[in-house]
Amino acid sequence: MDEAALQHRGIVRRIYGNLGLLLGGKAAAGVISLVYIAIAARVLGPEGYGVLVLINYYAMFVGGLIAFPGWHAIVRYGVLALADGDEAKLIRLLRFVGAIEIAVGVLAVCVAALLAPIVGGYLGWTAQAQMLAIPYSLAVLATVRATPGGYLQILRRFDILGAHNIITPIMRLIGTLVVVAFGWGLSGFIIAWLIAALTEGISLWLLGIYLARRHMADQPLLGKLTDVRNEHPGLLRFTISANTDIMLSELVNRITPLVMGWVLGPAAAGLYSIAHRTTVVIAQPAQILGQAAYAELAKLVATGASGKNIRHALMRCVGISFLAALPIMLILAFFSEQISILIAGPAFAAAASVMIWLALARVLALSGPPTSAALIALGRPGLSVSSNIITSLGLLPLLPLLTAAWGLEGAGMHAVIQSILASGLLGLLLWRCTREQGHTG
């Protein structure tokens, strides 16, 4: 076996090792999530549960739209700094990206709080829910953790990242039990979910600080904030492109429940959320695969690997994801109504109609996250951004139209159309990119 083939196998093995560590945490988180979702849905019913998830989706939407997740830049440029043994350069990078992320995160919180009462009026929230949505805007801070997350990826501490995935579900479960015990209702659930979100964000920063002190004991974590763009050519352009790609790729998932609330009301949003949450089990491996693969693909590109090896490593990863997802797809296709009732109770049986569509869309979209990761690793995040602009923003006007015409199933149809176009376009762009850059092997 030649050296290239051995390298290819090693890369795939490490990617799936990283994926296994992350999925372990996600699997545990998924089981715990089903417990607190089942309790909350039964206690609140479709209407109340719909308001709860709409408030959360709203905060996450604003955070995703404004916030600055710079983990791609941390991994891409931090790996090079560590390879040169320049810890001071890495610390400067972490300070610079981290400061921007925190500042933009605070801005996102302010925007979310300011607009919450206005948006809530269109989404069917009660006056009390609108007022509670203002402090819940602090939940945006759960998304402000890309800097420590990127640093942990550089260290290959996917075990810690995997374990971190269970923090929010555990906190939500504890909060749910307390709320039910004291009968605090919707307001209690909103407060409990806010505490869980803050714990999620703060805990990863603490873990990142702890590991940085261990691995870079000679370097002060706090210090002068230096503009490191001259040290890392193309840093700002790369970061903006990568962040825009993340925002666009998650835009439809975050805005769809809000459209459900706007067009069909909070109860429909509650039904959609149950279907969405159930089918996440198909999409999460691919999303995590993109995260797990990025660091390894970046190293593969840095070594001058051929385009053929890059494509083969990616195709093997995607193929295994498809095989793993198909049994889940079949189960959801035949037992969607029973699953909806089992998870949330008889009041949520209608979620089955959109669940089948979403499950199909998830399978069709499996190649998206790892392919985007490959394009970004190749230093071409703009291509992934262009694809997302076409398939996310370009198709977004169809969402309210399909929803108004076919209800919940219309949202599922939109998801299937988007998945087909996005996967096909990303695959075509990757093939052209590797050939154009001379990675033809």
Q: List, for residues 29-73, the tens digit of each pLDDT value.
A: 878 898 999 999 999 999 999 999 999 999 999 998 887 777 778
Q: What integer is the mean pLDDT of 334-351?
A: 94
Q: What integer is the mean pLDDT of 275-283?
A: 82
For the chain, give every domain's residue range. 3-436
* pLDDT greater at residue 186 or residue 367: 186
* pLDDT greater at residue 72 or residue 104: 104
- At residue 342, does pLDDT exceed 90? yes
Banded pLDDT at 173 (limits 50, 70, 90): very high
Q: Which of 221-235, 282-296, 341-355 has the lowest mean pLDDT?
A: 282-296
Contacts of 195 (CB under 8 A, 6+ apart): 171, 175
Residue type (1 letter), 387: S
Distances (CA, A) of 186 to 132, 167, 267, 388: 10, 22, 14, 35
DSSP symbols for 93-126:
HHHHHHHHHHHHHHHHHHHHHHHHHHHHHHTT--
Distance in angstroms (rounded) separating the CA atoms of residues 174 and 180: 10
Mind listing the pLDDT tens digit for each residue in 377-387? 777 777 877 88
Mind listing the pLDDT tens digit for each residue in 281-332? 776 665 565 555 666 666 666 666 666 777 777 777 777 777 777 888 888 8
Distance in angstroms (rounded) separating the CA atoms of residues 235 and 74: 10
- At residue 426, does pLDDT exceed 50? yes
Beta-carbon count within 10 A of 89 CB: 20
- Maximum average pLDDT range among 208-222, 268-282, 316-330, 406-420: 406-420
* pLDDT greater at residue 94 or residue 299: 94
Q: Of 380, 215, 199, 211, nearest to 307 (Cα)?
A: 380
Distance in angstroms (rounded) separating the CA atoms of residues 65 and 254: 10
Six-digit token string for 199: 């714990």
Q: What integer is the mean pLDDT of 103-110?
A: 94
Q: Which of 180-189, 238-247, 300-309 has the lowest mean pLDDT?
A: 300-309
- At residue 441, does pLDDT exceed 50? no
